[in-house]
Amino acid sequence: MDNENYGIWLTLSSVIGWFTFFDIGLGNGLRNRLTEALTVGDFRLARAYVSSAYFTILAISLFLFLFFLLINNFIDWTLVFNTSSGLQVELSILMPIVTGCFCLQLVVKLIGNIYLASQNHSIQVKIHFFTQILSLIIIWILIKTTTSSLLIFGAIFSIIPVLVLLGLNIIGFSKKYIELRPTFSLWRYKYLKDIMGIGFEFFIIQISGIMLFATDNFIISNLFSPEEVVPYNVAFKYFSIPTMIFTIILTPYWSSFTEAYVKEDFQWIKKSIKSILKLWCLIPILLIIMLTISDWFYKIWIGEKVMISFVLSSSMAIYVLLFTFKSVFNFFINGVGKIRVQMIVGVISLIINIPLSILFAKYLDFGLSGVILATTVSVAMSAILGPLQYYKIINFKASGIWNR
């Protein structure tokens, strides 16, 4: 696949990826409420939460897919992705496939929240591992047997995650979580409302967060060209390594913070935050090392075909530094469900990100670096307010918006 097609796919997957957050935050809402129900041993309530979430997401997914089918034939995708007209037919076929798979993923990915709520924290790593292994095997087979194309590439990478998650649902509800298996008879609006009370705010936070980066790809594609999305994403993926590692470490704490907060074990929470912050101090050191060897790493990884400036790499490192720091406190805030401040900050960040990206990248002539610098500015507020809210909550000084 050439740079243009790969750039289109990166932009396409980012835009379609927004659909994974059209669960109105029910996934994370379910995670928190399910943890609370399991903590007090109320399995009937736990199953009711699971049932209400699953069947509501199924209805949302069907609506989204049918709506997309209605508008697909009226959209010129080559204009949307700023590419050659010869790809219109291929894109018009690929878009329903990709959208359909992401809509299915809305439903089947809920099993991950169930595993996390029951303190089975390694599940996300396992899902990612099997998805990547299966993708690599199939792509290798295709390279050896046929000519790669945007349509084939996009279809494969859309279908595989759905298959992995569907398999996990079948295994989970047949054995480990048979007592939580969703049934329509337990669907109740009151349970849905209970999940959505916090779930909708999670949705706003999620969609704001994903659009910060997804819009970056779209902005680059339109201000420059689809080809320029490639170096941006290569740098982003390289410097996302610390983020992925740190997130894997943080993931178990979300539901653990929920459980500890329900049990009023505040000393454990304080001790855990201190331990995580000590671990975070390794992030700046790792980023400096990665920045120092970045040119050498890029040459080994992608060769000379894609050029990535040191300024862009430095900008990515600064973004990761702030992002990982704010994540320490956001995981606690998410776990205890006091997310109103985070939601407001997320909306403000989303609003200012696009004009800042255009200002830095185009009018101040920072190029690709300006886009990630704008994103960094957008998340800076959360890096300041998150620790402040944690301090207020853990010391019983939170009131008003800080306690909602």
User: Is 94 or 279 the better-scoring residue by pLDDT?
Assistant: 279
The amino acid occupying position 228 is: E
Domain boundaries, the chain: 1-195, 224-404
In angstroms, the CA 352 to CA 177 distance is 43
Tokens of 402: 């800080």
The predicted pLDDT at position 169 comes to 93
> Which whole number is the average pLDDT over 51-64?
91
User: pLDDT tens-digit profile of 149-201?
Assistant: 667 777 777 888 888 899 999 999 998 889 999 999 999 888 888 887 777 78
**How many alpha carbons lie under 13 Å from residue 50 in its C-beta half-sphere?**
30
Is the model's pLDDT at 12 over the cut of 90? no
User: Is 44 or 17 the better-scoring residue by pLDDT?
Assistant: 44
Is the model's pLDDT at 49 over the cut of 90? yes
Tokens of 237: 């993926």
Rama region for 261: left / alpha / beta (φ>0; ψ in -120 to 50; rest): alpha
Please state, for a pLDDT cut of 70, what percent of the chain lies above it. Answer: 88
User: pLDDT tens-digit profile of 284-306?
Assistant: 999 999 999 998 988 887 777 77
Band (pLDDT 50/70/90 cuts) for residue 321 is very high
Q: How far is CA 169 from CA 109, 119, 143, 178, 300, in A?
A: 8, 17, 31, 10, 39
Other beta carbons within 10 Å of 372: 29
Give the lowest-confidence range in 102-116, 117-131, 238-252, 302-316.
117-131
